[in-house]
Amino acid sequence: MVYLILMAAVVLEVIGTTALSQSQQFTRPLPSLITTISYGGAFYLLSWVMKTMSVGVVYAIWTGLGTVLVAAIGVVYLNQKLDLAAVIGLGLIIAGLLVLNLLSSSVSH
Is 108 a domain residue?
no
For the chain, which ranges sit under pLDDT 70?
A: 108-109
Model pLDDT, residue 109? 53
- As a 3-state breakdown, the chain gives helix, strand, coil percent values, each rounded to 5, of 80, 0, 20
How many C-beta atoms lie closer than 10 Å to residue 67's C-beta? 17
Q: Which domain holds residue 67?
A: 2-103
Model pLDDT, residue 108? 64
Query: 51-64: per-residue pLDDT in tens?
Result: 999 999 999 999 99
Instruction: Calculate the CA 43 to chain-centre distance.
Output: 11
If one counts the domains in the chain, the total is 1
Among 34, 8, 12, which residue's Cα sits nearest to residue 21? 34
Is 90 a domain residue?
yes
